[in-house]
């Protein structure tokens, strides 16, 4: 039972952080994907590259960048603290920030591809039929792109759930406050608590299997479609 008492807050925190990171990317990642798919402007390729960087950069490097940005002495961090009294350091919101950044390309990339695959003639047909732009987005573009987007969101959730490096640098490892499952596993191993580590690892594996099962259920059906 001791195991459970230590593990449940970590599990809950992991799910909360991953859930928020996924929700944030539902707006930012999908929005950016749509923007880059639909509008041509100078520097589009460069922007795409920059936005994809979190996928290839080591999480600790990202964590360092975030530290420079939102740390108490960072450009954004000092402004937030001075004006709003907010500090993201060593808070679960900081963990959300780290996870969001790390998972961002996993939503943005498939979303862009999904939007580019939507036949623009269908959107034009909707315009001629009298629909305003926002209605076209929700009634034509999104329904035709959502499978690709959903796949990206699931990947992002899984990635955020496993986030370690950047989260540790921003939020640290405060049990019950910022210690997520993956960090708790590391701490348990470091402290020689093998039973605890076993339990946490099994718990994490179970959650990952559930996420994968969820992803499998969303694969395109062959007949009937949509």
H-helix segments, the chain: 2-38, 44-56, 59-70, 75-84, 92-117, 120-128, 133-136, 142-161, 165-171, 181-190, 194-217
Minimum separation from the CB atom of position 130 to other proteins (A): 5
Minimum separation from the CB atom of position 224 to other proteins (A): 7
Minimum separation from the CB atom of position 142 to other proteins (A): 10
Q: Whose Cβ is closer to other proteins: residue 1's or residue 129's?
A: 129
39 binds other proteins (CB under 8 A): no
Per CB under 8 A, which region of 39-47, 54-62, 106-114, 139-147 contacts other proteins?
139-147
Out of 58, 143, 175, 214, name the contact with other proteins by CB under 8 A: 143
Minimum separation from the CB atom of position 99 to other proteins (A): 30
DSSP string over 58-101: -HHHHHHHHHHHHSTTSHHHHHHHHHH----TTSHHHHHHHHHH
Q: How many CB atoms lie within 10 A of CB 72?
A: 12
Out of 27, 50, 68, 138, name the contact with other proteins by CB under 8 A: 138
Name the 3-class secondary structure at 219.
Answer: coil
Residues 185-204 that bind other proteins (CB under 8 A): none
Minimum separation from the CB atom of position 109 to other proteins (A): 23
**Of 152, 60, 59, nearest in space to 112 by CA:** 152
Q: How many CB atoms lie within 10 A of CB 117?
A: 11
- The residues of the shown chain that bind other proteins, judged by CB under 8 A, are 119, 121-122, 124-132, 134-135, 138-140, 143-144, 224-226
């Amino acid at each position: 039972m001791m195991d459970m008492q230590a593990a449940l807050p970590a599990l809950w925190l992991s799910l909360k952080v991953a859930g928020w990171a996924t929700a944030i990317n539902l707006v930012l990642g999908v929005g950016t994907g749509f923007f880059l798919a639909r509008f041509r402007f100078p520097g589009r390729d460069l922007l795409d590259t920059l936005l994809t960087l979190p996928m290839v950069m080591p999480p600790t490097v990202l964590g360092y960048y975030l530290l420079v940005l939102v740390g108490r002495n960072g450009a954004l961090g000092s402004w937030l603290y001075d004006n709003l009294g907010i500090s993201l350091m060593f808070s679960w919101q900081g963990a959300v920030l780290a996870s969001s950044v790390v998972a961002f390309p996993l939503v943005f990339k498939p979303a862009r591809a999904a939007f580019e695959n939507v036949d623009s003639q269908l959107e034009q047909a909707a315009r001629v039929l009298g629909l305003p732009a926002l209605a076209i987005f929700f009634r034509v573009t999104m329904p035709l792109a959502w499978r690709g987007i959903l796949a990206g969101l699931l990947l992002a959730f899984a990635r955020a759930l496993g986030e370690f490096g950047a989260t540790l640098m921003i939020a640290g490892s405060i049990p019950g406050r910022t210690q997520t499952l993956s960090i708790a596993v590391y701490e348990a191993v470091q402290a020689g608590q093998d039973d605890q580590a076993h339990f946490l690892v099994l718990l994490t594996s179970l959650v990952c299997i559930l996420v994968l099962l969820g992803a499998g259920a969303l694969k395109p059906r062959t007949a009937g479609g949509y």
